[in-house]
Structure 1
Amino acid sequence: MTRGLFFSGALVVAPAIGLAMFCDAARAGGAKDYYTKRAWGSFNGGQMNTSILVFRDLNRNGVYDLGDRPMPHVAVELGKPNGDTVMRWTNAGGFANFRMSVTQRDLEVVDPGHYSLRVVPPPGWSITTGNASQESDYVVSPGSPGDMIACATTHPVGLAPDLTISGAVAAGSRISFTGPDGVTAAAKVEPDGWFSAPATPGEWLVDVSADGATQRRKIVVGGAPVVLSAFSGKGGPAEEPLPEQHVVGFDDLLTTSGVFEIPSGYGGLNWYNLVAMHQRFTDGPGYVNTTMSGEFIAYNSSGHPAQAFSDKPFDFEGAYFGAGWNDAEGETLVLKAWRGDQPAYEDQVVLSASGPVYFAADYMRITRLEIRTQHHWQAAIDDFAYRTGP
């Protein structure tokens, strides 16, 4: 009876299982086991990007240097050896990426041969670096991340906006421009009063004559096209500008990547429904492309009207404006200003996500400025310039 209680199968099997577990646990590895070298003659089977960088050439010198900025949402075409093309947009870092792999056949670059990359600028932009199209042979290279490499790497491509001075005047007005070189030339005025003329960086004088009276504006053309506020058509001496000048870039409101509603008192003005954020906090390319100084940008919250106002009169000198999102290309910005309860100014500006225009407002002695968009898309705003009194 006692021997029957000790089933022989149990006595044999249990120790065998325990021995196997013990052997697995006891197995030790050395450096060669844990730090194995690749067999470099074999295919890796992975993928990598072949890329090109597009940047905003802020100083327009044709060189990617300090101060230049990446430019998202620019179309780049990849030309394949078989004649097909594939288009990709540049990302927030300014790179257009095309995936490359010998073994993963559903990617953009899979066969060795001659490829081209061509940057297609947005309307109103030009290449400054002279290298919109670049070519290279691609060859198989087993063991590299995508098992293929480019024989020649790409160089950054710089873009800059075509500089213009534009605006609207009364029908029948005459307009002339005096550039930084001192040369004066007349500009064509369309039947609807619209005018636009090419410009170069520097200080310009704009003279508008109508009904025997002449108005003169002095403006500075920088890194973006300039849109002038509407001329009143009234002659007479201009008001003297207020003495204390301010330019806010919204960079000193926060240091994180979040959003921050601009509080009243910032810069000596009161603010409503205007928000500041880091330019890359969202995926909107227009926020990156509109930023002119620092890393932060402002916008009208949720695309609804925003205001800057003060009990004391201030001069709104101007600001850079762009569309925050590429889906809002061509959105219309509406600016209205009041002196107390009396309307004083109103203008409209067409916005782009590719880059800003500088709206030269020259709004004098106002107490309230409204910033809104016709279709409730967000307008990106940078370097808001105004003047206050003592």
Structure 2
Amino acid sequence: MYKTKSLLLTLLLSLGLSSALSTQAAVITFDDLPETDIGSISEGYGGFNWGDSFLTNVAYAHKDAIPGTGFETGVVSGNYAAFNFLATTSVISGEKFDFNGAYLTAGWNDGLNIEVTGFLDNLALFTKTVVVNTSAAQWFDFNFAGINSLSLRAWGGVSIDPNNGGEFFVMDNFTFNETPAAAVPESSSLALLLLGVAGILLGRKNKKA
């Protein structure tokens, strides 16, 4: 009986772990990239291509590289965050994925608009426009499911620096999840079934006693 109870407990724990893993989103923080003030994100980092040409490349910057701007306040974790190189539209692509969301900040222009569009094989499935400032990073939920390409286009706003500016956005904690949400209730149902079996076995043991 002790072996049966131990086996059931092991199964339940493994199910709980697998459920947690199936719902855990992957978060790209840009903090494991080479240490530098400003650098280019290499192809394949985090499982994605960070641009489809030199002009639409996504770069990253240290929070102290441009102090007093959104390049500093836009860093949520660690010391680094991504930004749109040359203030152009950025393209992020890879295998099919679900884009949950990210922290977004304006680099220089308060009131910056960012249009985020999710594509599947060049067909636009989702689009959402958000407005950001330089003062603090804001989390935005997007929940674009089943896409393989993401574009971020920024425009407008007023620069906080009369000598510098540009339609730059800063992005941190890029969050995605490739696991279908349907995996969770299936595991939960199986866990409940095992609990029921355990109850029956314990009941039989008590009757024999």
- TM-score, scaled to structure 2: 0.65
Q: What is the CA distance between 1:243 and its match in structure 2?
A: 5.9
8 Å CA contact 1:246, 1:267 repeated in 2: no
Runs of at least 4 residues off by over 4 Å = none
- Please say if 1:261 is aligned against 2:40: yes
Does structure 2 conserve the Cα–Cα contact (< 8 Å) formed by 1:336 and 1:346? yes
In structure 2, C-alpha distance between the alignment counterparts of 1:347 and 1:338, rounded to whole Å: 12
**1:278 positional shift:** 0.4
Q: Aligned-residue CA RMSD in angstroms?
A: 1.8
Percent of aligned pairs sharing the same letter = 28
**Greater share of residues in helix:** 2
Q: Is the 8 A contact 1:297 1:381 kept in 2?
A: yes
Letter in 2 for 1:274: V
Match of 1:319 in 2: 102
- 1:123-144: CA deviations, max 9, x gaps? xxxxxxxxxxxxxxxxxxxxxx
From the two aligned structures, give the one with the greater strand fraction. 1
Listed as ranges, the matches of 1:133-172 within 5 Å are none
Structure 2 residue aligned with 1:300: 84
SS of aligned partner of 2:153: strand
Looking at structure 1, the residues matched to 96 and 179 of structure 2 have their Cα atoms a distance apart, in angstroms, of 8
Q: How many residues of Structure 1 are paired with residues of Structure 2 in the alignment?
A: 145
**Counterpart position of 1:42:** none
Q: Which residue is equivalent to 2:116?
A: 335
Contact 1:284–1:324 under 8 Å retained in 2: no
Conserved in 2, the CA contact under 8 Å of 1:319 and 1:383?
yes
Residues 284, 307 of structure 1: CA spacing in aligned structure 2 closer, same or farther, 3 A cutoff? farther
**Counterpart mapping for 1:1-390 below 5 A:** 245-256=25-36, 258-272=37-51, 273-310=57-94, 312-325=95-108, 328-375=109-156, 377-388=167-178
| Structure 2 CA distance for aligned equivalents of residues 284 and 364 of structure 1 | 36
| Distance in 2, Cα, partners of 1:301 & 1:381 | 12
Q: Which residues of structure 1 form unaligned runs of 5+?
A: 1-241
The residue identity in structure 2 corresponding to 1:248 is: I
- Measured after TM superposition, the shift of residue 341 of structure 1 is 2.4
Q: Runs of 5+ in structure 2 lacking a partner? A: 1-21, 52-56, 157-165, 181-209
Q: What is the DSSP-based 3-state SS (H/G/I as helix, E as strand, rest coil) of the residue aligned with 1:267?
A: helix
Q: 1:286, 1:380 within 8 Å by CA — same for their partners in 2? A: yes
Letter of the structure 1 residue corresponding to residue 174 of structure 2? F
TM-score by length of 1: 0.36
Which residue of structure 2 lines up, in the alignment, with residue 158 of structure 1? none
Cα distance in structure 2, aligned partners of 1:263 and 1:245: 22
Structure label with greater radius of gyration: 1
8 Å contact 1:243–1:388 — kept in the other structure? no
